[in-house]
């Protein structure tokens, strides 16, 4: 062989070896729901610390190409599911395929149940429409308002946090246009946030220990009894895991508010522990300079421990308790605290102490059968002063239930019994007639979820309650789910509800209980509701889309209302309306994900009316149209998150306002930024950038707070104006 030929062979050998060495590796996988085995369309697959990533297609399959040899950490995630991390080692020319099952967050712990059905299920497979606010969204809103969950709910489609008192900054949650007293609030499935505390329960609940919030809209008394007329909101707290978690947060605002909170969680051999503690402070703040506080002053302490214990591999129980102490003060901005209880200057003070405890036990008799029980108690004490008028009350709530659930062939059914007891003692001095009450309503409930065919599920449920004052109520519910394709789900349902009336309505909170009369000859409120919704998820190249559309109708009979003639005399006299209250409308929401960018948009159309004494009028403080959009960019490699948001609220009918009968429409915009440095995360939030507020167009009060003659007007727009907050969050083992 000549030297030229030898050189040619050598060059060919070098070229072939170089081609072999440079041949890239490939990593692929199939992502499915661990419970239903359905493909998770649009699941994200990322190699941590690199620019490589993709999303799963219609079959739940992803593929990452052109990888060099080496060691990688693959993270697979999907909204509403626990993220999955695994380490892979790739050599040259490797082609590795993984089968990955993601666990829904709502069934990660056996004792936590899906709100819509009281059973441990994936939300995507529940016949009742259940909306989940996942932990990543909870954490985004945590950086905006670490002191409460109000903003978390207010910026969700179809829900609105309504300020009930401009003086003391109390608020409640409206679902689909109905007053906040019709929404049942649960913490880990246990009711403890209604009645006497309804006006400020949202503002007292810190979100640091929440892992998910589930919302069911429409009447759901079939499973949850009284108060669940407009819907149910279930705040699910975090569960301890083997890896310890410690989170600490410090936050300050331009309006001199300060928040300090810490959360600890760890699972040991058989026991698990979580602990939340927080301190939140805010001084009175006069935004518009009229001498009256637009933001109430408060100091609040919160402590919430929770203990879980595995008695065996089939029996698990837990105990949690909580204490919250708050002192809230609003009114004349510069008045000293020594003026509380005098006629002038005008001040409102609310001192509240909440103590609660609950325990639960679950026994998995077999893989298809379980028995569970819960018992809870709550005591809330309020000592208020409105000017020189006191209001003192104590509420005691007891709750207990037991249920048996089983899977038998095509049926998944449950049956149980529950007891709701609610007593309010009105301790206000000088009353001739007490405004308190003592209610108890034992009930039984049953539910059957039938798989009619491969893609059809029917759910039938009903409940009977025996109320000690208002008699017996039967509340049925029916839901049908059809899944024509893996990407499309359609639901149709309807239900009924009831509520025992009390004096705790928005008008009473607005007027400070000064002249609230005892209830006389009022009837229980009844409702019927129906809804239709469709959910679709799919891909368009690298773009992942999730769409939801819903239509709903609720009819409320015997609604309790404050008589207008009495309100004109600064007296709250409550009675039933003579006609029906209607709330109908629709919701449209979409979420688009493209790489590191996520866009969420939501639109709500709402039309409400109430017929009373021959007149039909639109319910006040209900915008006909609302729209919101949130754009978030998050980079794992850069350790950064940034977001922009904008919300538009249409005109609303207003009552008892001498300046107008309808409010102007308005926009509220904001921006947020977070940067991660290892375990330390710095954040800054710019809320209401363009300073939208009601006091830009008109005053919020009539009269002179220094002289003690004050009438506060209903709130239809923000009062706090532009707010900038920022701080530091330290996360270990998150």
- pLDDT for residue 193: 77
HSE value, Cβ hemisphere, 13 Å, CA-based, for 5: 2
Q: How many CB atoms lie within 10 A of CB 336?
A: 9
**More confident call, 352 vs 109:** 352
Cβ(36)–Cβ(124) under 8 Å? yes
Give the least confident one: 205-209, 222-226, 457-461, 630-634.
222-226
Q: Sorting pLDDT into bands at 50, 70 and 90, what band is 107? A: very low
Segment 292-320, tens digit of pLDDT: 999 999 999 999 999 999 999 999 999 99
| CA 712 to centroid of chain Cα atoms | 29
User: Distance between CA atoms of 272 and 255, rounded to whole angstroms?
Assistant: 39
- pLDDT for residue 126: 80
- pLDDT for residue 190: 84
Fold annotation for 24-103:
Immunoglobulin-like (2.60.40)
Domain with CATH 2.60.40.1120 in the chain: 24-103
Q: Where are the alpha helices (DSSP H) in 157-254?
A: 221-224
Fold annotation for 125-155+157-161+173-732:
Maltoporin; Chain A (2.40.170)
User: Distance between CA atoms of 361 and 371, rounded to whole angstroms?
Assistant: 8
Sheet holding 61-67, edge to edge: 61-67, 25-33, 95-102
**More confident call, 718 vs 151:** 718
Residue 677's contacts (CB-CB under 8 Å, 6 or more residues apart) are: 639
11 backbone φψ class: left, alpha, beta (φ>0; ψ -120 to 50): alpha
CA distances (Å), origin 318, targets 112, 359, 369, 482, 653: 11, 6, 20, 36, 47
User: Distance between CA atoms of 391 and 427, rounded to whole angstroms?
Assistant: 8
pTM of the model: 0.85
Q: Where are the alpha helices (DSSP H) in 190-289?
A: 221-224
Domain with CATH 2.40.170.20 in the chain: 125-155+157-161+173-732
State yes or no: pLDDT of 259 exceeds 70: yes
Question: Over pLDDT 90: what percentage of the chain?
Answer: 57
Q: Tell me what the mean pLDDT of segment 198-215 comes to.
A: 85
State yes or no: pLDDT of 19 exceeds 50: no
Q: Sorting pLDDT into bands at 50, 70 and 90, what band is 52? A: confident
Q: Tell me what the mean pLDDT of segment 104-116 comes to.
A: 50
Segment 447-463, tens digit of pLDDT: 999 999 989 999 999 99
470 backbone φψ class: left, alpha, beta (φ>0; ψ -120 to 50): alpha
CA distances (Å), origin 308, targets 277, 315, 356, 360: 18, 11, 17, 9
Segment 408-434, tens digit of pLDDT: 989 999 999 999 999 999 999 888 788
User: Distance between CA atoms of 279 and 324, rounded to whole angstroms?
Assistant: 10
- pLDDT for residue 114: 64
Q: Sorting pLDDT into bands at 50, 70 and 90, what band is 520? A: confident
User: Distance between CA atoms of 1 and 10, rounded to whole angstroms?
Assistant: 12
State yes or no: pLDDT of 185 exceeds 90: no
State yes or no: pLDDT of 21 exceeds 70: no
- pLDDT for residue 687: 96
User: Distance between CA atoms of 115 and 476, rounded to whole angstroms?
Assistant: 16
Give me the sign of the Cα torsion angle 165, 170, 176, 178: negative
Residue 287's contacts (CB-CB under 8 Å, 6 or more residues apart) are: 255, 294, 295, 693, 695, 719, 720, 721
| CA 61 to centroid of chain Cα atoms | 32
**What value does the mean pLDDT of the chain take?**
88
Segment 366-383, tens digit of pLDDT: 988 999 999 999 999 999
Cβ(596)–Cβ(544) under 8 Å? no
Between CA 143 and CA 115, with CA 238 as vertex, the angle to 5 degrees is 105
Question: Over pLDDT 70: what percentage of the chain?
Answer: 94
């Amino acid at each position: 062989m000549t030297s030229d030929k030898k050189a040619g062979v050598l060059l060919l050998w070098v070229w072939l070896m170089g081609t072999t060495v440079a041949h890239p590796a490939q990593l692929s996988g199939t992502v499915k729901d661990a419970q239903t085995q359905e493909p998770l369309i649009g699941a994200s697959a990322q190699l941590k610390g690199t620019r490589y990533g993709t999303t799963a297609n219609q079959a739940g399959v992803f593929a990452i190409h052109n990888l060099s040899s080496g060691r990688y950490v693959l993270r697979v995630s999907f909204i509403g599911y626990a993220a999955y991390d695994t380490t892979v080692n790739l050599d040259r020319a490797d082609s590795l395929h993984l089968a990955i099952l993601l666990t829904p967050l709502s069934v990660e712990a056996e004792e936590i149940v899906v709100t819509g059905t009281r059973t441990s299920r994936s939300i995507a497979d529940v016949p009742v429409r259940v909306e989940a606010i996942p932990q990543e969204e909870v954490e985004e809103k945590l950086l905006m308002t670490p002191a409460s969950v109000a903003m978390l709910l207010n910026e969700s489609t179809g829900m609105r946090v309504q300020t009930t008192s401009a003086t003391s900054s109390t608020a409640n949650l409206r679902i689909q246009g109905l007053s906040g007293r019709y929404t049942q609030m649960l913490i880990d499935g246990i009711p403890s946030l209604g009645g006497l505390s309804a006006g400020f329960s949202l503002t007292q609940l810190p979100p640091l220990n929440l892992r998910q919030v589930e919302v069911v809209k429409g009447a759901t008394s079939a499973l949850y009894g009284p108060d669940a007329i407009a819907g149910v909101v279930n705040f699910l707290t975090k569960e301890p895991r083997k890896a310890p978690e410690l989170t600490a947060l410090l936050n300050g605002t331009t309006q001199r508010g300060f928040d300090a909170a810490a959360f600890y969680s760890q699972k040991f051999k058989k026991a698990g522990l979580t602990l939340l503690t927080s301190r939140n402070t805010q001084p009175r703040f006069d935004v518009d300079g009229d001498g009256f506080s637009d933001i109430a002053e408060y100091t609040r302490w919160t402590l919430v421990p929770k203990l879980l214990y595995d008695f065996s591999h089939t029996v698990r129980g837990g105990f949690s308790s909580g204490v919250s102490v708050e002192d809230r003060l609003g009114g004349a901005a510069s008045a000293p605290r020594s003026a509380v209880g005098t006629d002038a200057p005008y001040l409102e003070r609310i001192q509240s102490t909440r103590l609660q405890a609950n325990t639960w036990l679950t026994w998995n008799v077999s893989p298809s059968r379980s028995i569970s029980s819960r018992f809870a108690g709550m005591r809330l004490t309020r000592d208020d002063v409105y000017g020189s008028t006191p209001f003192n009350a104590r509420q005691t709530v007891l709750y207990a239930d037991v249920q048996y659930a089983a899977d038998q062939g095509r049926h998944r059914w449950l049956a149980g019994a529950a007891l709701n007891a609610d007593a309010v003692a009105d301790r206000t001095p000088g009353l001739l007639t007490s405004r308190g009450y003592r209610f108890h309503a034992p009930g039984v409930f049953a539910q059957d979820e039938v798989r009619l065919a491969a893609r059809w599920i029917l759910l039938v449920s009903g409940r009977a309650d025996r109320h000690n004052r208002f008699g017996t109520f039967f509340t049925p519910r029916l839901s049908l789910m059809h899944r024509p394709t893996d990407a499309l789900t359609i639901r149709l349902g309807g239900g009924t509800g009831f509520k025992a009336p009390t004096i705790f309505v928005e008008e009473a909170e607005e007027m400070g209980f000064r002249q609230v009369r005892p209830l006389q000859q009022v009837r229980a409120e009844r409702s019927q509701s129906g809804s239709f919704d469709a959910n679709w998820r799919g891909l368009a190249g690298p773009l992942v889309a999730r769409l939801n559309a819903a239509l709903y109708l609720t009819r409320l009979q015997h609604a309790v209302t404050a008589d207008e003639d009495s309100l004109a005399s600064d007296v709250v006299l409550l009675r039933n309306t003579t006609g029906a209250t209607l709330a109908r409308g629709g919701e449209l929401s979409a979420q688009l994900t493209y790489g590191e960018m996520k866009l969420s948009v939501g639109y709500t159309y709402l039309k409400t009316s109430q017929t009373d004494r021959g007149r039909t009028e639109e319910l006040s403080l209900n915008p006909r149209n609302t729209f919101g959009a949130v754009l978030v960019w998050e980079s794992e490699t850069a350790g950064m998150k940034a977001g922009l948001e904008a919300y538009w609220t249409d005109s609303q009918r207003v009552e008892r306002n001498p300046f107008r009968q309808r409010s102007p429409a308005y926009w509220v915009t904001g921006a947020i930024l977070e940067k991660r440095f290892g375990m330390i995360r710095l954040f800054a939030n710019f809320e209401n950038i363009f300073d939208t507020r009601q006091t830009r167009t008109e005053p919020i009060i009539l009269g002179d707070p220094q002289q003690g003659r004050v009438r506060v007007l209903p709130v239809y727009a923000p009062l706090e104006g532009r707010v900038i907050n920022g701080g530091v969050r330290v996360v270990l083992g998150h």
